Structure 1
Amino acid sequence: MELNIIAPMLMSEAHLVASNIPEDDHPAWDAGTTFTKGAKVISPLSHRIYESMQDGNIAHDPIGDDGTWWLDLRATNRWSAFDNRRANRASRTDQITYSIVPTMDCDAISLFGLTAGTVRIEVWDGASRIYDQSFVMVDKGRVVSAYTWFWGGIAYARHKVLNGFPGYIGHRIDLTISAPGAVAEVGHIILGRNDLIGTVLNGAEVQHVSHSRKDYDSFGDEMLVRRGSTRKITIPLQVPTIQAPRVMDVIAEVDGLVVSFYGSPDGGLYGIEGLGFVDDHTQPLDAAGDSVFTLVMKTLK
């Protein structure tokens, strides 16, 4: 099994050219309108939702505000799929569509936090459709016995990763996330270049990191405050020493960026996949031919 990292293309209006999700979560901020405390607005420039912190809020642009007048809540529904978080999901009844024109060569895509029956990926070169694949999101990994095969119900995969499609500069990539009769959701989309890091060795560890905490009410009784969880993944890798500079360059390129990493094209093998960042990378060099080192990744909520 090989470990891959998708170096992300940073999304902007130049890339996201169309979507069936309107950006109408709340009224757009207007410099001439007076907003009361608690009023919510959106900014078409930042694609984020803000809440007024005071009455008489007029002519204070929420972009760049220090919190005196506006509280930055989250990305708008349309842009929630590109805000570096899985928990804040873009949603729409039945179906979500995005049309993206990359400004860098993108041969891989990873979708997190899915609620969907199918995912379709199309690539267009002008008026010609040069790639078209649909994926049924049924999670067969939940079938662990004859009982679950017949009576376990249908479970759907929350993550899809694909590489090797022709997402070159100037092509248009159409994504369709379908959940007929329900609410389609996607937590985060990463589109970019796939980089092979190395061969995964035995001994990889997936650590559950709980962010919940124990609190007390006014009577001293214990309460568990649920705050979700993330994972810390420690991956021993084998890399030909001659490729060490390439691997170090890839890690340096994605340092401080939210990336997709996975251990197989199916994006679910052994749980070595996620949306996260590089936490630690020390690469000893073995002149004998192959170097073995440990890469530590941490996921985001």
Structure 2
Amino acid sequence: MDFNIVAPMAVTEAELVASNIAEEDHPVWDAGATYAKGALVISTASHRIYESIVDGNTGADPTTDDGSAWLEVGVTNRWRAFDQRRSNVALRADLITYSVVPSQDCDAIALFGLTAGSVRIEVWDGATSIYDETFVMVDKGNVVSAYTWFFGGVIYARQKVLGGFPGYIGHRIDISIEARGAVAQVGHIVLGRNHLLGRVLNLPRVQFVSHSRKGYDDFGNEILVKRGSTRKVDLSLLVPTHQAPRIMDIVAEIDGLATAFYVSGAAPSYGLEGLGFVDDHSQPIDVAGESVFPLIIKTLK
């Protein structure tokens, strides 16, 4: 199986042309208003939420404040799908829609932290639809017996990675995340160029990493504090040695960015799919023809 990384495109106001999530989490900051301590406002310029940390807060722009009047507490609901975090979800009853016009060629899309019965991806060239696929998000991998088939309930996949669609510059990509009768959610959306890095060698390792902590109360009783978990993916890739500069350039390009990764081919993914960042990559060069490149990726919560 081949290992792929999606180099993400930044999604700004220039790319995000429409969404059915209104940016109205809180009142928009007003320079003439006076805010009490604890008051929440938003800025439609920065797409952030701010909390007043003083009483009588007047005239202090939260987007330029030095921290003496305002505290940034998060991203507005509309923009949470593009904030490089999976756990900070965008949500809306029944249906979430985004329309993105890419500023670079995008042949891959990945959606994480989903709560959805289906995901639809459409690509438009002007008024002409050139791609339209709907993906039912039922996860059949949880059916392991006749009992679970009939009585196990319906489990929905939390992520979807799609490559090979025509998301070229100037095309409009419509994303629909549907959860009829419930609250649709998405944690992060990656749009970008797909890069095949190399062939996965045998025995890749996926490690569960708990961020929960154990503490103690005043009487010495144990207290467990749940803080979520991530995964550490440790694998080795077989790459033609002459492609080493290409691999180094790709890794440098995605450094510090929330990046989608997945495996392609006939074999199952075995959990080698997610949203994360490259933590370590070394390149021992074998001039004979093919080199083995170790790669460590840590997922995001």
Q: Tell whether the structures are fold-level matches, with TM greater than 0.5.
A: yes
Distance 2:217 2:63 in 1: 38
The alignment's C-alpha RMSD in Å is 1.4
- State TM-score, norm by structure 1: 0.97
Q: Deviations over 1:213-241 (max 9, x none)?
A: 11222322110011111111111110011
Map of 1:232 onto structure 2: 232
Distance 1:238 1:39 in 2: 55
* Gapped regions of structure 1 (runs ≥ 5): none
Map of 2:41 onto structure 1: 41
3-state SS of 1:270 partner: coil
Structure 2 counterpart of 1:286, one-letter code: D
Q: Deviations over 1:144-163 (max 9, x none)?
A: 11211111111000000001
Map of 1:189 onto structure 2: 189
Map of 1:254 onto structure 2: 254
Distance 1:266 1:81 in 2: 30
Pairing 1:1-301 to 2, within 5 Å after superposition: 1-264=1-264, 269-301=269-301
Distance 2:258 2:117 in 1: 26
Distance 1:112 1:265 in 2: 21
Structure 2 counterpart of 1:238, one-letter code: L
Q: Is the 8 A contact 2:84 2:257 kept in 1?
A: no
Distance 1:234 1:203 in 2: 9
3-state SS of 1:66 partner: coil
Q: Deviations over 1:101-151 (max 9, x none)?
A: 000000000000000000000000001011000000000111111211111
Q: Is the 8 A contact 1:17 1:100 kept in 2?
A: yes
Q: Is the 8 A contact 2:2 2:199 kept in 1?
A: yes
Q: Is the 8 A contact 1:160 1:267 kept in 2?
A: no
Q: Is the 8 A contact 2:214 2:225 kept in 1?
A: yes
Distance 2:214 2:141 in 1: 33
Q: Identify if the C-alpha distance between structure 1 residues 266 and 101 changes in structure 2 by more than 3 Å, giving closer, same or farther.
A: farther
Structure 2 counterpart of 1:142, one-letter code: N
Q: Is the 8 A contact 1:26 1:42 kept in 2?
A: yes
Deviates most, 200-209 or 186-195: 200-209
The Cα shift of 1:196 comes to 0.4
Q: Deviations over 1:67-95 (max 9, x none)?
A: 32111111111001011111110001000
Number of residues of Structure 1 aligned to a counterpart in Structure 2: 301
Distance 2:165 2:293 in 1: 30
3-state SS of 1:84 partner: coil
Distance 1:262 1:101 in 2: 24
Q: Identify if the C-alpha distance between structure 1 residues 46 and 114 changes in structure 2 by more than 3 Å, giving closer, same or farther.
A: same
Q: Is the 8 A contact 1:163 1:265 kept in 2?
A: no
* Gapped regions of structure 2 (runs ≥ 5): none
Distance 1:35 1:266 in 2: 59
